[in-house]
Amino acid sequence: MAKPITGDDPKTLVSTAWLAAHLDDPDLRVIDASYYLPGAGRDAKAEYAAAHIPGARHFDIDEISDARSDLPHMVAPAEKFMSRMRAMGIGDGHQVVVYDAVGIFSAARVWWNFRLMGKTDVAVLDGGFPKWQAEGHPVEDMPPILRDRHMTVQRQAHLVKDVTQVAAASKLGDWQILDARSPGRFRGDEPEVRPGLRAGHIPGSINVHYATLLNPDGTMKEADALKAAFEAAGADISRRTITTCGSGVTAAILMLALARLGNEDVSLYDGSWSEWGRFDQLQVATG
């Protein structure tokens, strides 16, 4: 494991002060990756149109996805991701900062998506749009002027796992599996947000609710507090790890936190509980 990362880091997490200082950099690109769970009653596109960080592009997680899959927002093929980013004026040589309207939520998913495509100059905005607005930084309601930018991608297959690989890890115990959902959903006490899914968790997995990694203002905890949160849940921050959640969104928050702690040997189960919970032949644990 590498040493824990503290402070602003353009490959993992940057502060609102850092972004304000770099907002006019010619090779900076800002992405609004806001997304809400079904039933939240919020419209990410409409909110982006009403107000966003100057120059921000909107990244639609549901649209920039694998249209061939019936699972929610599975990661897009490399060619589709590349073409969408080029059309948004995002390409080679850019430093990308991703934010969302919750604090740290869906932005981490898009951070992972870029890394999956071989792009490492990407960071999540710590505290997101709420912190940016609360501090009085500028916002606008005009879409940015987009100029096509060449992008090359090199998919990093080791950063994602499919159901077969996760089932093997669950059986063999050779990977640590961390589940970012709420304790009630993990135990099977609360209903799933998507209909038709069984309740419970992947056998052998450990519950690290993503909210335990965040401060009340939506920023990510510092390294010592992050380490304590993982350890309190029974997780080993040094083990190779698969992260999972409901549909592959908050699992990326766990990956981001582990990257801040120096563990890069982490993969995300893209199908997550939306896939595991629907197939009767896959075992489910409760309690």
* CA–CA distance, 194 with 273 (Å, rounded to integer): 10
Instruction: Tell how far CA 221 is from the center of its chain.
Output: 16
The total of other beta-carbon atoms located within 10 Å of residue 270's CB is 28
Give the active site residue among 90, 197, 229, 245: 245
* CA–CA distance, 68 with 186 (Å, rounded to integer): 28
The total of other beta-carbon atoms located within 10 Å of residue 217's CB is 12
245 is catalytic: yes
| Residues labelled as active-site residues | 245
